[in-house]
Structure 1
Amino acid sequence: MIDDEDLSEEERAAAAAWEAMANEGGDDDASGPVSNRVLDQDEIDSLLGIAGGGDGGKERPSGIQAILNSALVSYERLPMLEIVFDRLVRMLSTSLRNFTSDNVEVSLDNITAIRFGDYLNSIPLPAMLGVFKAEEWDNFGLLMVDSSLTYSIVDVLLGGRRGTAAMRIEGRPYTTIERNLVERLINVVLNDLTSTFDPLSPVTFRFERLETNPRFAAIARPANAAVLARLRVDMEDRGGRMELLLPYATLEPVRELLLQMFMGEKFGRDSIWETHLSGELWQTDVQISAVLDEFSTSLGNVLEWKPGTKLDLECTPQSMVELRCGEVQLFRGHMGRRGGHIAVKIQDRLMK
């Protein structure tokens, strides 16, 4: 047993603190220094992320709920996909002008990663949901056209007067004419989307069906991740919003291509530069060597060579001569004479 006098001042202070922690629980029959403190209801709610208060305002999640929701922003960034959407905006501006014969401006609001189930719950109704399939990737995507853009397209295509807001009747389903016109709009968008992916990976986006109820447009599991691009379409005093949603499972076949950094306007390819480079290469002067014969010898023999030393080559006037460019074997032929110059008549092609 260690006497208290043998302990240092720091050890006595640590022992006193330990004894104080052991006595915090009162006079309970505890076998060791265990704290009996119990969490109150507010602390439990904060840990579980349950919002308190009755003000009805939305609060940011905390605790375990915040940890679960943090997966919303943990998906990897796809730099090349942002370039695809930028090209889509430029192409759509031209295509929709030709489609509506009106001055149309398309802008990209943002690109975010979201869970598919959360997106279906956030769709403002009424809206039209176009389900399309990526043929080569064997998966689906979603294109949402909100009611404002729907009525604006109908108004423009059917000759509505400018300066008047699109009339919106609440509570009624979309008519057949409205559905057909929106389907034509979706086909225009999908054609441009196909063209934007062509330099990266050939793919065909084919329209499948048109839905007005988000429950019938479930193309992925609610917890699956997806990329959401919000597009704004303005036609002078009319317009609306489109949202293009591509699940990560749909983009998986081209994930490696989408991860690469953007290099040039044409996804790393510049046809003008390629044409110029190939044209200059055809006009480049290269040095070609005609090899009559070759043999191996030791370095010692080479050092003994003097002016007048003769090297015996095992070749005859009928032997084949090999033409090389550096270390690359190009052709093989017979040596002769033409117009006072030594020439080689090519017999075989060695390069592959």
Structure 2
Amino acid sequence: MIDLDDFDLPDPPAAPFGDDIGNFAQADIDALFGGGEPVAKKKGLRAVLESKVISHERLPMLEVVCDRVVRSFASSMRNMTSDAIDVSLEEVTSARFGEFMNRVLLPAMVGVFKVTEWESYGLITVESGLIYSVVDALLGGRGGNSPTMIDGRGFTPIETSLVSRVLETALRDFGEAFLPIEPISMRLERIETNPRFAAIAATSNICAIATFRVDMDGRGGCFTLVFPYATLEPVRHKLLQRFMGEKSGRDSIWEAHMASEVRKTNVTVNVLLGEKAVPLAELEELQVGQTIAFNNSPDDPLDVACGDIKLAQAQIGQRSGRVAVRLVNDVSRSRKKIV
């Protein structure tokens, strides 16, 4: 029989966490989850500027404009490429400018455009899939397969020029879709391939972002319009409206109807043959058939009036057996009362 006390056995190894397997020391838990020292909370203005949670201010009219861009841009692309083009609006959201620029996947093209009326700038970004699809379509490539993307090289001048035409078309269609709100003109100024060279706003500035997807016979990609809120500030109150009728406080349909009906209204026009001052006693003695002589000759122009408002001058004559007048000048837009 073997007695274990005769052998010098080593002590069992210590538990890797704490005193035993079932109990973890707080230091071990902190080491496991990366905790330990508490992180100091940001306070004041820095906490607001560096917060990842932003207040999304919905702009209903901007979404309406983007919906109209979908229809017009699809038609423009069909005319440009002669292919079956499907354009859809993916989302209209808000994000900080720096956060959005960090999400741009390279290689990509970033177009910087200027809104002339607002003296402000915006961005239009195009991902690589759409770039190569547009180039392939405009150069006569066959649809159905995604074009081959060549990594490790920049975009050629031909590719940049072809994509510029598409971007200018998208900006023109956006300007036309924005016309019911306010007439604007958007001009593409330059195209960058490095997002750092397209910084038009501070990284903490909030931007409205509209993302569109373009499908071209099984190929395509997305492009995005970026408007810093400072750019949209001149029309922010209009973009917060719910429908087009609020843009000027009136309904254009009723306005046109009222203008049409007013033009059909009948008015009484008087021709003043002459004026003469007579005593009241002489006026009472006038008899039927008596002639009143004026100081006007038959060729003198007469005043044409509506009520007591003078409109024009005319000459008296006869037409088809009836007394008629012929205007000798245009109807004046400056209304003058007849004294």
Coarse TM-score class (shorter-chain normalised) = 0.5 to 0.7
Whether 1:194 and 2:175 are equivalent positions in the alignment is yes
In the TM superposition, 1:112-261 aligns within 5 A as: 112-261=93-242
- Output the TM-score relative to the length of structure 1: 0.62
Per-residue CA deviation, residues 189-244 of structure 1 (Å, 9 max, x unaligned), is 11112212223222211111111111001011111111100001011211110000
Q: Displacement, 1:86? A: 1.4
SS in 2 for 1:70: coil
**Unaligned stretches of 5+ residues in structure 2:** 1-34, 271-293, 296-303, 313-317, 319-326, 335-339
Q: Displacement, 1:181? A: 1.0
- Output the TM-score relative to the length of structure 2: 0.65
Q: Identify the match of residue 92 of structure 2 among 90, 107, 111.
A: 111
Give % identity. Answer: 45
Equivalent residue number for residue 67 of structure 2? 86
Q: Displacement, 1:258? A: 2.0
CA contact (8 A) 2:122 2:231 kept: yes
Alignment partners' CA distance in 1, 2:245 and 2:119: 29
Amino acid at match of 1:235: M
Pair 263,183 (structure 1): closer, same or farther in 2 beyond 3 Å: closer
Alignment partners' CA distance in 2, 1:270 and 1:197: 17
Pair 100,264 (structure 1): closer, same or farther in 2 beyond 3 Å: farther
Whether 1:69 and 2:41 are equivalent positions in the alignment is no
Alignment partners' CA distance in 2, 1:175 and 1:44: 51
SS in 2 for 1:124: coil
SS in 1 for 2:209: strand
Pair 197,67 (structure 1): closer, same or farther in 2 beyond 3 Å: same
SS in 1 for 2:244: coil
Amino acid at match of 1:142: L
Pair 208,143 (structure 1): closer, same or farther in 2 beyond 3 Å: same
Amino acid at match of 1:109: E
CA contact (8 A) 1:111 1:230 kept: yes
Amino acid at match of 2:114: K
Alignment partners' CA distance in 1, 2:244 and 2:209: 23
Amino acid at match of 1:194: G
SS in 2 for 1:71: coil
Equivalent residue number for residue 77 of structure 2? 96
Equivalent residue number for residue 3 of structure 1? none
In the TM superposition, 1:271-350 aligns within 5 A as: 274=256, 276-285=257-266
Pair 329,69 (structure 1): closer, same or farther in 2 beyond 3 Å: farther
SS in 2 for 1:132: strand
**Unaligned stretches of 5+ residues in structure 1:** 1-40, 50-63, 290-316, 332-337, 339-345
Q: Displacement, 1:324? A: 10
Q: Displacement, 1:68? A: 2.5
Alignment partners' CA distance in 2, 1:182 and 1:217: 17
- State how many pairs are aligned: 275
Q: Displacement, 1:351? A: 8.1
Q: Displacement, 1:84? A: 1.4
Amino acid at match of 1:246: F
Equivalent residue number for residue 19 of structure 1? none
Alignment partners' CA distance in 2, 1:350 and 1:161: 65
Per-residue CA deviation, residues 17-62 of structure 1 (Å, 9 max, x unaligned), is xxxxxxxxxxxxxxxxxxxxxxxx67945x849xxxxxxxxxxxxx
Amino acid at match of 1:68: S
